[in-house]
Amino acid sequence: MITLTDSAIAAMKAAIEQTAEPAKGLRIKIEEGGCAGFKYVMGVETSRAPGDAVVETGGLCLFIDKGSQAFVNGLRVDFVTTLEDSGFVFHNPNATDPCDCGKSFA
């Protein structure tokens, strides 16, 4: 369902370690917004919600809500650092019209 690069796994584990509350994993969600119509939202999660799919990869639990599951099948998440910025980059084979920013898609 979802593939994480080694750099994405390291960045996600670092985010979980920095939380004050005990985290169970990370949520990856698709919401309306961004330049092209849909955007990726990620955050630390303390529990699984009803209807969530749970993907275990790289020693992490990823929670995907029911409405986002069809959009993330085949998703590859990377973490990239450049001179100007660092952040997660999403490579989605389901995105028909990705935005140049790499953060949203149609």
Whole-number pLDDT of residue 101: 65
pLDDT digit string, tens, across residues 86-102 = 999 998 888 887 777 66
Look at residue 12 and tell me whether its pLDDT is greater than 90.
Answer: yes
CATH number at residue 10: 2.60.300.12
Collect all residues with Cβ–Cβ distance below 8 Å to 53 and sequence separation of at least 6: 1, 63, 64, 66, 69
Domain count along the chain: 1
Look at residue 103 and tell me whether its pLDDT is greater than 70.
Answer: no
pLDDT digit string, tens, across residues 18-71 = 988 889 999 999 998 877 788 899 999 999 999 999 999 999 999 999 999 998
Question: Tokens at residue 82, please?
Answer: 């450049």
Q: Which domain range does residue 42 map to?
A: 2-105
Question: Tokens at residue 59, please?
Answer: 């020693």
User: What pTM was computed for the model?
Assistant: 0.86
